Amino acid sequence: MKKILLSAILSFIGFINYGQEEIKFIGLNLEDNAYTKEFKTLEIPDFNSPVNDSYYLTKVNDTLYYHQQKIDDEFNINKINDIIEGLGKIEKGEVDKKEKRSILKNTELTINSLKEDISSKFRSISFSKYDYDYLNVINTAKYEKSKYELGVKRNNESIEAAKNNAMKNLGGDYIKNHPTIEKKVETLVPIEDFNAVKGYYILKGSIYISTHNDFSKKIFIGKILTGNEIYYLSSSEYKTMSWYKSIDGEGIDVYGNISSFKKYDKEMLTILKEGSKNMGAELDYSSNNPNFILKNGKKIKITPFAYYCLKNKEYNFLEKEKNIKAKMKIYKSEMSSLIDKIAQYRSKTKIAYDATKKGQALRKKIQELYDNNDDGHYHFLQMLDTETIKVNTEFNEVLRAAELLFGW
């Protein structure tokens, strides 16, 4: 988390952790494309009006055959249900001889009529006499029924897929001419009164907004979509925005992909305000990076090191940074002179031993410049030029190798 925060301070981009960190918006304007929810009357396609598009109508006609097949299959399912119900009554002894003969006769006629259309399961049943295995016929009927029902289900899916695909691909020119209606819906509207954006916010999640009209799902441009609705849409058919919720209800909720330098962590804002007060400076948010403006008009950029010092209530960071850079020029020369001597630990032990002792003392001085902690070291490195960083890295590597050899 520290590295994420510190790196973000460097550019003031992306420092917000996607959790429950409290943030405040600073300097929002119309160019930031920030939105809020509002009920608004929109002109949308009349999805209940018949579609009069040749492509769609062709696809609908293509499904008529399957639609009739579905009706036929459902009719056969009802016939099979009658078989199962009638033979079930016989098995349970719930009918007299006359009704039994009627049921058996109807069963024979029904199965014979179905034999031409369905599988060999029914074709294997013979009706030369009426003393056949009723239970076997019942089980066969149940099997055939399940097959029919599965076929109807798949048929329905094919019909709906063909129609929906045709509606989904209605041409843009057609959509422009399709009848419309006015409907009051909750949608996102640009924020115009930024005084309503006040207090602290948390990142609550995302919101999805349709950017196209989809007749198959009755989705219109500007509709706030649910997760289920976007599942079947391509990423080009909607846009995703971050949702920032007012934690105390003081301000309106904000939606949008807002530049990170307009969002300030609560702790960061507190530290910057306290720092500006102690330095008698004005806190300026006009650029991508906040600045202090001193009374003499001098502008001081809040660098990662400056923020680190402010966090530790060290307000003399300009002098401290100047002092660190000056000392590192001296220490760079000392490190360079010691590296070759320390590196001789395998052959010239006495020279390497003495140089290592001096190196340890020098390392301690350098560590004191950044308070010998990870945060301070990160900012310390940001101040150094490439050549100094290279010398410092080589010095520490050689020094550590020598220490291991000497058992320190």
Give tens-digit pLDDT for 17-54: 334 589 999 888 888 899 999 999 999 999 989 888 88
157 and 119 within one domain: yes
How many Cβ atoms sit within 10 Å of the Cβ of residue 116? 8
Amino acid 117: pLDDT: 63
Backbone φ and ψ for 213, nearest 5 degrees, come out as -95, 125
Alpha-carbon distance 360 to 403, whole Å?
Answer: 9
Task: Identify whether residues 159 and 73 lie together within a single domain.
Answer: yes
User: Is 58 in the same domain as 164?
Assistant: yes
Range of the structural domain that residue 62 is part of: 54-168
245 and 296 share one domain = no
Quickly state the pLDDT bin for 390 (edges 50, 70, 90). Answer: very high
Burial (0-12, 13-18, 19+ Cβ within 10 Å), 360: middle
Higher per-residue confidence, 199 vs 7: 199
Q: Percent of the chain having pLDDT more than 90? A: 26
How far is Cα 2 from Cα 8, in angstroms, rounded to an integer? Answer: 10
Is there a single domain that holds both residue 270 and residue 286? yes
Of 72-81, 121-130, 171-180, 185-194, the range with the lowest mean pLDDT is 121-130
Examine residue 332 and state whether it is found in any structural domain, yes or no: yes
Q: Which of 168, 199, 222 is the last residue of a domain?
A: 168
Q: Cα–Cα distance between 289 and 27 in angstroms, integer? A: 12
C-alpha to C-alpha distance for 340 and 360, rounded to whole angstroms? 15
Please report, rounded to a whole number, the percentage of residues in the chain having pLDDT higher than 70: 91
User: Does residue 240 surpass a pLDDT of 90?
Assistant: yes
What pLDDT was estimated at residue 264?
Answer: 87
Instruction: Please indicate, yes or no, if residue 114 is contained in any of the structural domains.
Output: yes
Of the candidates 139, 168, 197, which is a domain's last residue?
A: 168
pLDDT confidence of residue 119: 59
- Which residue(s) pair with 77 in the sheet? none
390: three-class secondary structure by DSSP: helix
Evaluate whether residue 8 is within a structural domain: no
CA-closest candidate to residue 38, choices 193, 228, 242 = 193
SS3 (DSSP) at 147: helix
For residue 10, pLDDT over 60 is answered with no
The model's confidence at residue 15, banded by pLDDT at 50, 70 and 90, is: very low
Given a cut of 60, is residue 113 above it in pLDDT? Answer: yes
d(CA 240, CA 229): 13
Read off the amino acid at residue 171: G
Q: Please tell me whether residues 246 and 203 are part of one structural domain.
A: yes
Q: Residue 82: which of 101, 114, 106 has the closest Cα?
A: 106
Say if CB 186 and CB 39 are below 8 A apart.
yes
Asked if residue 3 belongs to a domain, the reply is: no
Amino acid at 263: K
* Residue 4 is assigned to a structural domain of this protein: no
pLDDT (average), residues 383-390: 90
SS (H, E, C) 332-357: HHHHHHHHHHHCCCCCCHHHHHHHHH
Average pLDDT over residues 1-26: 50
pLDDT bucket at 191, cuts 50 / 70 / 90: very high
Residue 74 pLDDT? 86
Task: Tell whether the model's pLDDT for residue 263 goes beyond 80.
Answer: yes
Question: Is the predicted pLDDT of residue 299 greater than 50, yes or no?
Answer: yes
Average of per-residue pLDDT across 103-129: 74
Closest CA to 37 of 154, 185, 158, 218: 185
pLDDT at 250: 83
Work out the angle at residue 386's Cα, subtended by the Cα atoms of residues 396 and 319, and round it to the nearest 5 degrees: 90
Round to whole Å and give the CA distance between 38 and 234: 26
Distance CA 17, CA 2 (A): 11
The pLDDT assigned to 18 comes to: 36
Highest mean pLDDT among 65-74, 181-190, 281-290: 181-190
Q: Per DSSP, which regions of 290-344 are E strands? A: 291-293, 299-301
How confident is the model at residue 193, as a pLDDT? 92
Does the residue 312 lie in any domain?
Answer: no
Is the pLDDT reported for residue 209 higher than 80? Answer: yes
Q: Which runs of consecutive H residues, i.e. helices, occur in 124-261?
A: 134-168, 172-177, 227-230
- Indicate if the pLDDT at residue 12 is higher than 60: no
Indicate whether 5 pLDDT > 60. Answer: no
What whole-number distance in Å separates Cα of residue 354 and Cα of residue 341? 9
Q: Flag the least confident range among 4-13, 71-80, 194-203.
A: 4-13
Statement: residue 16 has pLDDT above 80: no
Residue 346 has pLDDT above 80, yes or no: no
Q: Are residues 164 and 93 in the same domain?
A: yes
Q: In this structure, is residue 86 part of a structural domain?
A: yes
Instruction: Looking at the structure, tell me whether residues 253 and 271 fall in a common domain.
Output: no
Average pLDDT of the chain to the nearest whole number = 84
195, part of any domain: yes
Predicted local distance difference test score (pLDDT) of residue 294:
87
Q: Both 188 and 270 in a single domain?
A: no
Check whether 229 has a pLDDT greater than 50: yes
Average pLDDT of 178-187?
Answer: 94
Check residue 128 and give its pLDDT.
60
Rg, Å, the chain Cα set: 40
- Does residue 43 sit in the same domain as residue 186? yes
Residues 327 and 386 grouped into a single domain? yes
**Confidence at residue 248, expressed as pLDDT on a 0 to 100 scale:** 84
Whether 153 and 234 map to the same domain: the answer is no
CB atoms within 10 A of CB 112: 13
Amino acid at position 157, single letter: E
pLDDT at 343 over 60: yes
Query: What total of structural domains would you count in the chain?
Result: 4
Q: How far apart are CA 347 and CA 345, in angstroms?
A: 6
